Structure 1
Amino acid sequence: MTVSILIPTYNESKSIQKTVEGIIEGKGDQVIEILILDSVNSTDNLKETLAAYEVRYIKTPCNSRSSQMNYGANLAKGDILFFVHADTILPKNYVSEITKVLQFAQLGCFRAIIESKNVLLKINSFFTRLNFLWCRGGDQTLFLKKADFLELGGFDEQYVIMEDYDFLRRAQAKFKFGISKKSVIVSARKYEKNGFWRIQLANFAAMRAFLKDNATPQQIKENYTKALNLDY
């Protein structure tokens, strides 16, 4: 099975190099392409930043993660799609771990360790090993066969936020979901800018609105970005 790695980006030139270097170092023969799916609204020099790396840079006509990832999925050549955040560091043996999970499940993710010594963030990291929707999130990655992704209709592009939760909710109604015992390393930059409890309150409000379906995805995003300092 061949793997396409898809990384949606928006002004990520300061964060993505470490991620890409880790991917390339551990990719082996099965990873046939690394697709950088840059937002049409990005204003940084990401293409130049990545010029020395073996990646396929694509300036998408899209401006949301859901639409960027769908755009890349349609172009991807691999049998398996592996969605990764631009500031997430993969374990060295990530391909073999993906293969291991997909032996008993149709889709899956890695556990996550937030890169911080903060005890509360260590507790947050612990919960990523549990198979509950509220324990998920795109920074933990997502992998599945391209055929299954297309069968599910991809990401719903009306979700300009919470697109990963919507996809998982639909996917888990049909397919078995698995979690690797290995962990990715997730940047703590959002917590460093906003603080733990501010993030938790914003996450809780977004998840509550999503589950209760009492706000549009655009309204959820507006409230979320209003509550937090997100300059990336």
Structure 2
Amino acid sequence: MNKISIIIPVLNEAETIENLLFHLIDCSAIQNIAEIIVVDGGSTDGTIPIIKNLGLSIIVLNSDKGRAKQMNLGASEAKGSVLYFLHADSFPPNRYDQLILSAIQNDNTAGCFKMKFDSNHWWLKLASWFTQFNWQMCRGGDQSLFVTNSLFKNIGGFDENFTIYEDNDFIAKLYKRNQFVVLQDWLTTSSRRYVKQGIGKLQFHFLAIHLKKRLGASPENLNSYYLKHIASTNN
């Protein structure tokens, strides 16, 4: 029987982690979940104490900072035949476990859900609408990602040279193998970064990163751009 290992990389997610963990438990059947693994990249805001005080059977791992490193570490400890990578502010649909396992049973070895933001802003609603299509350009890590453990290992996991764009790099490898499906149920993700930094500004920089990658930019170049134009405004 296939079981799902949920892997959540976190860094200072005290604001959302409790709600997410209860959501994951409430919206799934316990027999379908092998474990929930939270991989911390060095939180200083109380994220880990919050998790440990919930009284839930959550595996907490400590990792070097970087989502690729964190997710690879979580995958290395996972016991499930299906890996489900999830951002801490993305909430999958009710019965997400059954939807994923049904897709796996139908020979879909990797995929995501279509995604909507928790905002009524017209641009974010438009961006959400495009995620229903199975086009590589419409993909992103905030849509979550499920993949069989065997396929993940066969590809070699996430490229740890990337400190930004690691999700898209891995998804591109799945598309090259024609191994991707978009499940037509809504995952809801936070618009907090857009609200904080400005929708137009942040979308411009994300599109610039996509374009740079398509033009052959190195992981180091992408990270430098991210640090200069996006991460610096988070402080």
Pairwise TM-score range, normalised by the shorter structure? over 0.9
Among 97, 108, 111, the alignment partner of 1:108 is: 111
5 Å-filtered alignment, 1:36-55, equals 36-39=38-41, 41-51=42-52, 52=54, 53-55=56-58
Structure 2 residue 168 is matched with structure 1 residue 165: yes
Among 131, 143, 147, the alignment partner of 2:150 is: 147
Structure 2 residue 186 is matched with structure 1 residue 174: no
What is the number of equivalent residue pairs in this alignment? 228
The runs of 4+ residues in structure 1 deviating greater than 6 Å are none
TM-superposed CA distance for 1:57, in Å, is 1.1
Structure 2 residue 141 is matched with structure 1 residue 128: no
Counterpart residue number, 1:219: 221
CA deviation profile, 1:186-223 (whole Å, cap 9, x unmatched): 0000110111110111011100111111x322221221
Counterpart residue number, 2:196: 193
CA distance in 1, matches of 2:202, 2:103: 30
CA deviation profile, 1:78-107 (whole Å, cap 9, x unmatched): 010000000111111101110222214220
CA distance in 2, matches of 1:181, 1:223: 33
Q: Point out where structure 2 has 5 or more consecutive residues left out of the alignment.
A: none
Structure 2 residue 119 is matched with structure 1 residue 119: no
Greater alpha carbon shift after TM alignment, 191-200 vs 73-82? 191-200
**Contact 1:106/1:175, CA 8 A, preserved across alignment:** no
CA deviation profile, 1:153-192 (whole Å, cap 9, x unmatched): 0011111111111111112212421011101100000110
Counterpart residue number, 2:22: 21
**Contact 2:114/2:131, CA 8 A, preserved across alignment:** yes
Counterpart residue number, 1:91: 93
Greater alpha carbon shift after TM alignment, 102-111 vs 186-195? 102-111
Counterpart residue number, 1:5: 6
**Contact 1:37/1:57, CA 8 A, preserved across alignment:** yes
Matched to 2:222, the amino acid is I
CA deviation profile, 1:37-67 (whole Å, cap 9, x unmatched): 000x32222221012133111112x211011
Structure 2 residue 207 is matched with structure 1 residue 207: no
% identity of equivalent residues: 32
**Contact 2:164/2:226, CA 8 A, preserved across alignment:** no
Q: Point out where structure 1 has 5 or more consecutive residues left out of the alignment.
A: none
Structure 2 residue 231 is matched with structure 1 residue 230: no
Counterpart residue number, 1:78: 80
